[in-house]
Amino acid sequence: MKISLNLNGEQVYADVEADSLLLDTLRDQLGLTGTKEGCGVGVCGACSVLVGGNPVSSCLYLAAMADGADVWTVEGLTASDPDLADAFVECEGMQCGICTPGQVVAAAALRRHHPGASPEEIRRWMSGNLCRCTGYGTIIEAVERYVGRD
Amino acid sequence: MSAVTEFLAPDTVEAAIAALAGDDEAVAVGGATALSLMMKEGLLFPSRLVWLGRIPGWDSITAAPGMVRIGAGVTLADLAGSESVRRALPAVAAAAGTAANPRVRSVATVGGHLAHADPRQDLPPVLLAAGAVALVSGPGGDRRVPVDDLLVGFYETSLAAAEVITAVEVPLTPGSRQVYARFNPGSADDYPTVGIAVHVELGPDDTVASVRVAAGGCASRAVLLHEAAAVIRGRSPSALDLPAVQAAVEAEIPVVGDHRGAESYKRRVAGVWARRAVAGAVGDAGPLLGQPVAVV
């Protein structure tokens, strides 16, 4: 079936199967490989994207459900807001990098849903994004810096 | 993933029921967070997916006299964030806001959550304690199913073929005290080892006129704990026999041991947490070991 997405602000089309996952559609069909597959079961957050402004695990999200929706990936979010990637670079909020796109998308979602989030709210929100290098300190610093920016 | 050949997104409940009735291997889809997992694991092989997310009003929360009606398509995030739910049904909001992680909560729906019937879920015990009723539609018409009659066992409900949950009605009980206390020693997004919901209403003489205690995470489904409620009912909050509450819970609760705890361990945890949750419901609304608690 054919679906249309408003992907990173641009209208795109994809031909998907009934059970295609948004993750595979983004990576394999639309060439946006910033979104990673980590656990594949909605736990780690490496595949985070925004659908309709909400963070979702694209490894569990059926591509067909995104038909007609606004979808933002790490590529579009960082291109449209340089502060987002800058915060992670300035705080060195990454180690091996596999979780980084998901952490960045989660930070963008946090600022949309909870502008001015408290340190406690930031930790609670980001608890759904795992870093297997356990480099959480600088990731949280980066998110605090980004969320705290005007 | 599997042999899925069709994805349908009907825009009426009637069309959804017809689509489900037309294929023995059809499955209704709420947010697909659990469904995708089950297909990936090879536990489900649907041939037709019927997504309910395009039905107008599916995701609305409406206040009706004496109750809040939660559309089956309301996401856990919207339920947790709804001002009216937070005010009138704080334990429901707390449970919805603590399940899984923000990504799952922004997609998983109330209807899908109930139909999935995983015994470790957070909402079923809270809805049991609140006396919630599921509104169900199917080829045979509409019916009202108390959540206690909806839940059957592991991933099993009393829904008939091609029936869908359209909404959940939760009675409003002004002045009631509601608590959801979950014991979760794992990561923040893990299922609880035990989740205890308590709903207490005081009578004009300040004794407990109505009380329901429910537990999730222990048995093959969330359960109401009637013996524990009997220990509490009719008592003054200041004269509650809390050790007797704990003993009643530990005696009556059905428990299946799993990797979150052996049968004897979970039985004791359920008793201790029920005692604390009841104390929280009738006393100060202090946090229980930092876990989310809600009281009005």
pLDDT digits (tens, 9 = 90+) for B149-182: 999 999 999 999 999 999 999 999 988 999 999 9
First to last CA, chain B: 46
A2, A3, A19: which to substitute to probe chain B, counting the most B Cβ within 10 Å? Answer: A19
Helix (H, G, I), strand (E, B) or coil at B28: strand
> In angstroms, what separates the C-alpha of A53 from chain B's closest C-alpha?
10
Quick one: closest CA in A to B188, which residue?
Answer: A127
pLDDT at B49 over 50: yes
- E strand or H helix that includes residue A74: helix A74-80
* DSSP assignment letter at B115: H
Mean pLDDT, range A77-104, rounded to an integer: 97
In this predicted model, what pLDDT tens digit does every residue of B119-153 receive, in sequence order? 999 999 999 999 999 999 999 999 999 999 999 99
Whether B7 contacts chain A with CB within 8 A: yes
Whether A1 contacts chain B with CB within 8 A: yes
Quick one: closest CA in B to A41, which residue?
Answer: B37
Q: By the 8 A CB rule, do A2 and A65 touch? A: no
- The CB-side HSE value for B178 (13 A sphere, CA atoms) comes to 27
Q: By the 8 A CB rule, do B142 and B136 touch? A: yes
Q: How far is CA B148 from the centre of its chain?
A: 10
| Least confident stretch, A51-60, A101-110, A111-120, B155-164 | A111-120
Query: For residue B3, what pLDDT is reported?
Result: 78
Alpha helices, DSSP H, located in B102-255? 102-105, 110-116, 123-130, 147-150, 226-232, 242-252
Quick one: closest CA in A to B41, which residue?
Answer: A41
Query: For residue B291, what pLDDT is reported?
Result: 45
CB-defined contacts A:B, below 8 A: 88
Contact at CB, A60 and B101, closer than 8 angstroms:
no
Contact at CB, A61 and B40, closer than 8 angstroms:
no
Supply the pTM of this predicted model: 0.95
ipTM above 0.90, yes or no: yes
What is the token pair recorded at A39?
């656990």
pLDDT at B287 over 90: no
What is the token pair recorded at B176?
């009631």
Report how far residue B191's alpha carbon sits from residue B100's, in angstroms, rounded to the nearest whole number. 7
Report how far residue B101's alpha carbon sits from residue B72's, in angstroms, rounded to the nearest whole number. 20
**E strand segments, A60-117:** 70-72
Contact at CB, B39 and A18, closer than 8 angstroms:
no
Residues of chain A contacting B53 with CB distance shorter than 8 Å: 65
Average pLDDT, chain B: 93
What is the token pair recorded at B58?
């599916």
Q: How far is CA B66 from the centre of its chain?
A: 20
Contact at CB, A55 and B187, closer than 8 angstroms:
no
Q: Which residue has the tokens 């050790």?
A: B243
Give the strand pairing for A70-72 and A2-7.
parallel
Length of chain A: 150
Alpha helices, DSSP H, located in B44-109? 76-81, 83-88, 90-98, 102-105
Whether A59 contacts chain B with CB within 8 A: yes
